[in-house]
């Protein structure tokens, strides 16, 4: 099995391995906090998934309220013989980390033909995988 480094942006690294897409920030900074989105498209449809990265200083001991329901959806836009719209098989999770800690956000996306994957965040550029 081959892992491909798709891109390095700011302080992050995007990896693509078959259906798994991962965004890793080796040492989180406060300005990495924000909303992250992954969008997958193929001829049959699209899927989107959202997550929030919260960066809290070690001195902050207050509890953080996280979403209880995952925020993702898939839409089949047309019928493709033998194809399937992208689907989020395992979604992003909201994360709360301390500055300097590593962080990895993973999502598993299926579809036939294999979908093209886009990522967007409030602090990173749009990336095509």
Number of folded domains that form the chain: 1
pLDDT tens, residue by residue, 8-22 = 455 778 888 889 988
| Cα 99 from Cα 102, distance rounded (Å) | 9
Q: What is the pLDDT of residue 102?
A: 94
Domain range for 50 is 4-61+68-128
Supply the mean pLDDT for the chain. 78
| Cα 72 from Cα 110, distance rounded (Å) | 14
What number is the average pLDDT over the span 76-88? Answer: 85
The percent of residues in the chain predicted with pLDDT above 70, rounded, is 75
- Residue environment code for 83-120, b if the CB has 16+ CB neighbours within 10 A, otherwise e: ebbbbbeebbebbbbeeeeebebbbbbbbeeebebbbe
Contact in structure between 116 and 129 (CB atoms under 8 Å) = yes
CA 71 to chain centre: 11
Q: What is the pLDDT of residue 36?
A: 86
Q: What is the pLDDT of residue 93?
A: 85
Cis peptide before 113 (omega within 30 of 0): yes
């Amino acid at each position: 099995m081959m892992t491909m480094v798709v891109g390095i942006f700011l302080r992050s690294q995007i990896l693509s391995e078959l259906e798994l897409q991962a965004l890793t920030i080796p040492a989180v900074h406060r300005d990495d906090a924000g909303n992250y989105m992954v969008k997958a498209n193929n001829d049959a449809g699209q899927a989107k998934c959202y997550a929030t990265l919260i960066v809290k200083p070690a001195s902050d001991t207050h509890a953080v309220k996280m979403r209880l329901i995952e925020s993702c959806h898939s839409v089949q836009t047309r019928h493709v013989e033998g194809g399937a719209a992208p689907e989020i098989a395992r979604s992003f999770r909201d994360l709360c980390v301390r500055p300097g800690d590593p962080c990895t956000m993973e999502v598993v996306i299926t579809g036939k033909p294999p979908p093209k994957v886009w990522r967007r965040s409030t602090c990173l550029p749009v990336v095509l995988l």
